[in-house]
Amino acid sequence: MSEKVEHVKCLIIGSGPAGYTAAIYAARADMAPLMYQGLQPGGQLTITNDVENYPGYPDGINGPQMMIDFQKQAERFGTDVRFGLVTKVDFTGPIHRVWVDEKTEITADSIIISTGAAAKWLGIESEQRLNGFGVSACAVCDGFFYKNQDVVIVGAGDTAAEEATYLSKLCKKVTMLVRKDEFRASKIMADRVLNTPNIEVMFNHETVEVLGEKAVEGVLAKNNKTGEEITIACTGFFVAIGHKPNTDIFKGWLDMDQTGYLIVEPGTSKTKIPGVFASGDAADKVYRQAVTAAGTGCMAALDAERYLTEIGKH
């Protein structure tokens, strides 16, 4: 049984750069936003050690600290930030209904989705243990730290090819492990990789273990055809096997692409349901950066404010 239903003007589902930025804008516009942080308060940045590409931090900042700063700023203007996971939604009527942790029911005039995405991992113990200590799922975020060093990247699709090419401009050597005997990437991206002198592609190879005690020192890889194992010395290990947006609870309610990214009206944060807006990595499979997520969080709050004014709730 649900407890007493709580009603809010603006509900923000998920935290991170998009959610917190939406909260800052919504709170300053007197929308009294309520935010549920989700399973990973602060989002993917909480597993990122150094953030050096966000404007305004000339000396860089630690990812978890940055999210604490974002949260404080949102709370300063009156955002009600709560720990909890939205587990079910009902977007049938003009008043949107959601359930938190399968029991608390909240109704809202407007909803901003900022549930983010999660990198897909290989699922080996050493990869998780060294995550942030040489293991990364974002070449654009972390490639700079491996200037003139040797790195390994795993993946076979367009993202992997693009990230390998990006790393090749910074690193001395990039070794690319491709599980099968061909790329999944488009021909143009695959050709670009194959024509880059400092990228070595090892087809039919997969990762057995990431080596190193406190930081990445190498990778143990296995040839799928011969069973032969090889040690590759490196200081960085990049996983580029895709991302999964955290959007399962919106299936059947909102339009999404085949991977699960929410589809919004171009140039806006509007989903197909009036009053429901999407921001951040849940709706962005192209850029996936903290600064772009923050930008779409701002858009979502402004779109929500306009919507509330139109329906006479603000």
To the query of whether residue 10 is one of the catalytic residues in this protein, the response is no
Domain that holds residue 227: 121-239
230 and 138 fall within a common domain: yes
Name the catalytic one among 138, 150, 158, 298.
138
> The domain spanning residue 44 has which CATH number?
3.50.50.60
The answer as to whether 267 is a domain residue is yes
Question: Closest by alpha carbon to 205, among 177, 238, 236?
Answer: 177
Full-model pTM: 0.87
**C-beta of residue 219 within 8 angstroms of C-beta of residue 211:** yes
User: Can you give the pLDDT at residue 49?
Assistant: 74
Question: Closest by alpha carbon to 300, among 80, 39, 313, 275?
Answer: 275
User: Can you give the pLDDT at residue 2?
Assistant: 46
Side-chain-side CA neighbours of 56 within 13 Å: the count stands at: 6
Which residues are CB-neighbours of 8 under 8 A, at least 6 positions away?
A: 32, 33, 34, 106, 107, 108, 109
The answer as to whether 33 is a domain residue is yes
User: Can you give the pLDDT at residue 137?
Assistant: 93
Between CA 25 and CA 14 the distance in angstroms is 15
User: Can you give the pLDDT at residue 1?
Assistant: 45
User: Can you give the pLDDT at residue 312?
Assistant: 93
185 and 282 fall within a common domain: no
216 and 301 fall within a common domain: no
Name the catalytic one among 10, 141, 171, 234.
141
Name the catalytic one among 10, 109, 142, 284.
142
The answer as to whether 1 is a domain residue is no
103 and 168 fall within a common domain: no
To the query of whether residue 181 is one of the catalytic residues in this protein, the response is no
**C-beta of residue 80 within 8 angstroms of C-beta of residue 59:** no
Domain tally, the chain: 2
186 and 285 fall within a common domain: no
How is residue 204 written in tokens?
Answer: 């039919």
User: Can you give the pLDDT at residue 187?
Assistant: 95
To the query of whether residue 142 is one of the catalytic residues in this protein, the response is yes
Question: Closest by alpha carbon to 52, among 171, 140, 162, 155?
Answer: 140
**C-beta of residue 310 within 8 angstroms of C-beta of residue 297:** no
User: Can you give the pLDDT at residue 251?
Assistant: 97
User: What averages of pLDDT result for each successive group of 10 residues across the chain (314 residues)?
Assistant: 81 97 98 95 83 93 94 98 96 95 95 95 96 93 95 95 96 98 94 97 97 97 97 98 95 97 98 98 93 98 98 90
261 and 222 fall within a common domain: no
